[in-house]
Amino acid sequence: MLVVISDLHLGDGTTADSISPGAFRLFAKRLNETARFASWRKDGRYRPIENLDVLLMGDILDPLHSTHWLDTIPSDTNYVRPWSDPGNSNYAPKLLEVTRAILEENKEAMYILRRCASGEEILLEPADSQGNPDFQSTWQIPLKVRFHYMVGNHDWYYHLKGGAFDKIRLEVIQKMGLSNPASPFPHDADESPFLKDLFDRHKVHARHGDVYDKFNFDRDKGRDRGTVGDAFTMDVCNRFPVEVQKRYGDQVPAGIVDSLRKIANIRPVLAAPLWISGQVKKYAGKHPLEDELKEVWDEIADEFLQSNFVREADKTFRFDVVDAMQLIIKISGRASFSTINDVVIWVRDKMLGGKRSFASHALQESAFRNDKAQYIIYGHTHHYEVVPLGMSLVMPNPESKVYFNSGTWHSYYDLAIQNPEEQRFVKYHALTYLTFFTPEEHDGRRFETWSGAYA
C-alpha cells in the first residue's frame, strides 16, 4: 500500500500559517482505516498488510517562506539567500536555523508522524481462523509507516550534497520519522533504488512536477540551484510586510501587516499586488496609506528586478518569466495597484496559469510510453486531478492509464474568476491524498483518492 501526499508547505510561522495539526490527526485515522481495508485480499480473506509506505512528494517543509533569510542585506559580509551559492559558508547554518524553526513550529504534526512511523498510530486486528478480522482480540498488530521524502521547488535545499547538509537532513529524519538515509533526498526516483522498487511494485511513476514550471525550475542549472520564483517569493512577497512593519509600525491600521504576511497563500502568486490593494481598502478605506504602501512595493520590486540574480535569469529576445513579472511589477511604478488587474489576469491565463493541468506532460514520461507505469503522479500545481490518459498495449489484458495530481494540504486565498478586477479572494483549506494498492490488496482494487476542502 502506497500513499502519496505533497505540497504541505509547513512553515516557521514568520509568513503564512501552516496547516493545523488536526489535519495530521485526521490523516493518521484515515491511514488506519485504509490499511484495514487493504488487508482484505483478492481471495476474499482478511490478512493484515505488512507494508505501508507514504511518499512525501515535495514541498513538505517550506524553508523558502521564512523571513529568517532577510536578517542580512546584500552589503553584509554574511549575506545569504536561498539562491546563493550553497558552498557559501553562511548557507548551511542559515538553512539549519530555518529548518529548526519549521520543525519547532510544527512540532505537534511531527509528533504524529513519528507515532505513525513507530507503529503507535496504525493498529490492525489479527485475522481469525475464518479469514475475518478478530475484533474480540485484546491484541492488535502495530503497523509501522515508512515515510519517504522527495523534494520539490520549495524544499530543494534538502537535495544538496555535503556533510553540513547531511546533518540538517538527519535532524529532519529524526523529527519526522523518515525512512530516508541522511544522503540527499531524491528529486527523481532514479536517485533512490528503494523508490524505484516501490514504484515498480505499485505500477506508478511519481515526481513533484516542478520540472514543468520554468518559473520555479531552471533546466539549464538543475534542481540544486535557486530560481526566479525563489527570488520573487523571498525578496518581494516575504520582504514586503517586513518593510511595512519596519517603516510604519503602529501607523498602519490594525490587521494590515498580518494580512500582508498571507501573501504566501495567494493564488496565483503574481496576483500579490491585487491582494495588497484589496487589504488596504478593507482595513484603511480611502486612507492615503495605499500610496505609501505602493511606494514601498515599488521600491523593493525595483530592487528585485535590478538584482544581479534576476537580470542574469532574463533572456534576451524572448518573452519569459522575468518579462512576465516586469509587466506586473514594474507597471505598478507608473500606476496604482488596481490598474494592473488586466495584466495579472492575462499572465495567469496565458502563461503561468491559475489551475492549469500538467496532465499532457504525463504522456511524455518514459514510464508511460513503455508501459512500465500505469499511474503517473505529479504535485506542484496544488490542483487535485484524476485524468484518464489511455490504455496500455499489454495483451491480452490491457490496463487503463491515469494521471493524478496530489493536490495540497494548504490554506488559500484564491483570486475569484468572477469579476477579478474587484480583487476578491476566496479563503479555504485543502487536504488531498492518493492511495495505490498492489494487486493482492483491498479486494484487487488498484487506487483510491481523497480530496477535501473546508472553510
**Residues 363, 347: one domain?**
no
pTM of the model: 0.89
Q: What pLDDT, on the 0 to 100 scale, is given for residue 426?
A: 79
**Residues 240, 201: one domain?**
no
For the chain, what is the domain count?
A: 2
10: domain CATH number?
3.60.21
Q: What pLDDT, on the 0 to 100 scale, is given for residue 319?
A: 42
Query: Is 215 inside any structural domain?
Result: no
Query: Is 67 inside any structural domain?
Result: yes
Provide the CB-side half-sphere exposure for 5 (13 A, CA). 24
Q: What pLDDT, on the 0 to 100 scale, is given for residue 328?
A: 55
**Residues 438, 370: one domain?**
yes
Query: Is 40 inside any structural domain?
Result: yes
Q: What pLDDT, on the 0 to 100 scale, is given for residue 239?
A: 92
From 313, 332, 352, give the residue that closes a domain: 352
Query: Is 216 inside any structural domain?
Result: no
Taken in order 386, 388, 391, 396, the sign of the CA dihedral is positive
Closest by alpha carbon to 412, among 395, 429, 399?
A: 429
- List the domain range (segments joined by +) for residue 288: 228-352
**Residues 77, 204: one domain?**
yes
Question: Mean pLDDT, 10 residues at a time, over the chain (455 residues)?
Answer: 97 87 94 96 95 98 96 92 94 98 97 98 96 95 98 98 98 98 97 96 96 89 91 88 87 80 72 72 68 82 85 59 57 47 49 66 94 95 92 76 94 71 72 95 93 81
Query: Is 146 inside any structural domain?
Result: yes
SS3 label, residue 269: helix
Do 171 and 185 contact (CB within 8 A), yes or no? no
From 352, 386, 418, give the residue that closes a domain: 352
Query: Is 205 inside any structural domain?
Result: yes
Query: Is 214 inside any structural domain?
Result: no
- Between CA 169 and CA 174 the distance in angstroms is 9
**Residues 193, 60: one domain?**
yes
Do 236 and 299 contact (CB within 8 A), yes or no? no
- Between CA 50 and CA 311 the distance in angstroms is 53
**Residues 313, 436: one domain?**
no
**Residues 200, 233: one domain?**
no
**Residues 93, 6: one domain?**
yes
**Residues 181, 289: one domain?**
no
From 325, 352, 379, give the residue that closes a domain: 352
**Residues 372, 346: one domain?**
no
**Residues 86, 144: one domain?**
yes
- Between CA 22 and CA 5 the distance in angstroms is 16
Query: Is 220 inside any structural domain?
Result: no
- Residue 296: CB atoms within 10 A of its CB come to 18
Q: What pLDDT, on the 0 to 100 scale, is given for residue 413?
A: 75
- Between CA 102 and CA 19 the distance in angstroms is 12
**Residues 15, 148: one domain?**
yes
